[in-house]
């Protein structure tokens, strides 16, 4: 996949036909120091690794992109930083009623909204839907199904998450890696808060909460 070019909602990317919509699989490899790989078909798009207690790194080698990931505000905020777009944040905005908490992603180019949907028939399963206010459809969707996890804890590799990339994402392709790094990082390293608290089986090595 070639380097992504900047875009606006009213200006098509010159190379948008090269953007790959479809399914991306997030796999976890390793036990004590897990590595998370994002695969689309036979291509590895990026790796995410946690380097120390509250800091990690997301690397998309084909696009020449490296993002430094860090946890702040006791897990209510996740940030990524690079040399091109500056600082980006994922925030869980607290409310008195935890069921009314909101998750937003703030990039230098604007704000993205994240909606949580849980599967009532399969407790623990959930999906995060990402969109911007001027689109009618979701940009992408991150899905977790407990049935996909290998029941053997000592397994060297397991399928962890599924990311559905929708066609409208081609208009925001320049932000793809920042969005994915924040969403996957929040799920596997923090575990969420309030209504966004995720099943701990996603990753038992997530950052421990205080209190």
Measured between alpha carbons, how far is 211 from 204 in angstroms, rounded to an integer?
18
Lowest mean pLDDT, pick from 20-24, 26-30, 145-149, 151-155 = 151-155
Cβ-Cβ contacts under 8 Å for 8 (sequence gap 6 or more)? 171
Name the pLDDT band for 123 (thresholds 50, 70, 90): low
Name the pLDDT band for 67 (thresholds 50, 70, 90): very high
Q: Please count the CA atoms within 13 angstroms of the CA of 76 that sit on its side-chain side.
A: 12
Q: Is the pLDDT of residue 49 over 60?
A: yes
Measured between alpha carbons, how far is 33 from 50 in angstroms, rounded to an integer?
7
pLDDT computed for residue 20 by the predictor = 77
Question: pLDDT, tens digit, for every residue of 164-209?
Answer: 999 999 899 889 999 999 999 888 776 554 445 555 555 544 444 4
Measured between alpha carbons, how far is 55 from 68 in angstroms, rounded to an integer?
7
With b for 16 or more beta-carbon neighbours within 10 A and e for fewer, the 144-162 pattern comes to: bbeeebeeeeeeeeeebbb
Name the pLDDT band for 51 (thresholds 50, 70, 90): confident
Q: Is the pLDDT of residue 210 over 60?
A: no
What is the domain partition of the chain in residue ranges?
Answer: 17-197
Q: Is 139 or 190 the better-scoring residue by pLDDT?
A: 139
Q: Is the pLDDT of residue 147 over 90?
A: no
The residue whose two tokens read 């976890």 is 28
Measured between alpha carbons, how far is 15 from 69 in angstroms, rounded to an integer?
28
| Count helices and strands in the chain by DSSP H and E runs | 1, 12
């Amino acid at each position: 996949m070639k380097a992504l070019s900047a875009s606006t909602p009213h200006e098509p990317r010159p190379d948008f036909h090269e953007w790959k919509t479809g399914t991306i699989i997030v796999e976890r490899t390793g036990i004590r120091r897990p590595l998370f790989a994002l695969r689309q078909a036979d291509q590895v798009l990026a790796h995410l690794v946690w380097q120390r207690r509250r800091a990690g790194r997301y690397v998309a080698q084909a696009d020449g992109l490296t993002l430094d990931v860090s946890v702040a505000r006791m897990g209510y905020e996740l940030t990524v930083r690079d040399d091109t777009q500056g600082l980006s944040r994922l925030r869980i905005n607290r409310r008195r009623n935890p069921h009314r908490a909101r998750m937003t992603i703030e990039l230098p180019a604007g704000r993205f909204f994240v909606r949580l949907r849980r599967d009532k028939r399969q407790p623990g399963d959930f999906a995060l839907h990402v969109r911007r206010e001027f689109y009618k459809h979701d940009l992408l969707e991150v899905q977790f199904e407990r049935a996909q996890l290998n029941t053997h804890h000592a397994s060297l590799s397991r399928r962890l998450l599924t990311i559905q990339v929708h066609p409208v994402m081609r208009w925001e392709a320049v932000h793809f890696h920042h969005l994915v790094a924040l969403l996957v990082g929040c799920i596997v390293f923090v575990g969420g808060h309030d209504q966004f608290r995720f099943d701990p089986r996603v990753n038992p090595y997530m950052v421990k909460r205080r209190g």
